[in-house]
Amino acid sequence: MESIVANPWGAFGSPVVLGIFGLLVGSFLNVVIHRKPIIMMREWLLDTGGMLGEGEVWKQVFAKPQPAELVEAGKTIDAHLEVLAPLGLATPRSRCGACGHQIAWYENIPLLSWLALRARCSACGTPISVRYPLVELATGLLFAAAAWKFGPNPTALAWCAALALLVAMSLIDLDTKYLPDDLTYPLLWGGLVAAALGWTIPLPTAIWGAVAGYVPLWAIAGAFALLMKRQGMGGGDLKLLAALGAWLGWQAILPVILIASIAGLCVNVPRMLLAGHGRHTQYPFGPFLAAGGIIVMFVGTNTLLEWANIQLPA
């Protein structure tokens, strides 16, 4: 008891405890990964319907009244959205996407329920994707690894929050090629706050890490778009890299980019060749940036730079 009072973080310093907690968080991340894009698309449609219905944006862009059919289309969009059931990350309770069966608590135990149900819905027998338990397992392992690396202190919990956001963003980007601001901004501000509280790196290093993660690639992406007449890197990728800089420091930006670029080439070039995609095909880069950030976090910036024989200015 005295040791717990002396160090209230001690219980969370156990890889087993944080690993189990990570399994539970991973179960929630599955909900975030599935529902967040749907919620975003609803909001986008709601905004689109409102703008079309009012017609003010059309007038400003085209300097003429909006066609009547588009006004009606906006009203139709709003009418369809109004009859949809409310959807959030916490409500309604999880259901089978095929038959609507409401999932009981004992059918939602991380890893175990998927195995017990033999990867099928208990009501209709529809297969349950293996990605659900893999997300839970990956999150649990990452949380356990954070506890092993940082020990019983707030740094471990702070990094667990960052890792959870990175897992969610990676899969959302993989599914939709979009990195939500609702996830990238909390990761960015969380990195700065953690630094300000003394949990990670010095605050000036975190601030310059965010700057180094965003500004250079923003300039490169702008130049690419200007020369090639198309977008090469999305704004979400820049925000994600800025957030990683806030957690890891400006020195980590180069290793993160190198790891992400090499991994992206190794994965996407064979896909491009096998699928016959052209050079204009876009692939998500967020998962590779997240993987690069996680590798740098666990291995260490200095170690990776030494391996690559790269020296950065002090």
95 phi and psi, to 5 degrees?
-135, 160
Torsion (CA) 131, 134, 139, 141 in degrees, nearest 10: -170
Q: What is the pLDDT of residue 10?
A: 61
The rounded distance, in Å, linking the Cα atoms of 312 and 227 is 30
Cβ count within 10 A of residue 49: 20
What's the full length of the chain, in residues? 314
The rounded distance, in Å, linking the Cα atoms of 271 and 260 is 16
Q: Which of 280, 217, 52, 32 is nearest to 132 (CA)?
A: 32
Q: Which residue has the tokens 């200095």?
A: 302
pLDDT tens column, 240-281: 999 999 999 999 999 999 999 999 888 887 777 776 665 666
Six token digits for residue 291: 């993987």
pLDDT tens column, 175-206: 999 999 999 999 999 999 999 999 999 999 99
Q: What is the pLDDT of residue 178?
A: 92
pLDDT tens column, 220-237: 777 767 776 666 667 899
How does the average pLDDT of the chain come out, rounded? 87
pLDDT tens column, 46-86: 888 777 777 777 788 888 888 888 888 888 888 888 888 88
Would the pLDDT of 154 be above 80?
A: yes
The rounded distance, in Å, linking the Cα atoms of 74 and 211 is 40
Q: What is the pLDDT of residue 228?
A: 67
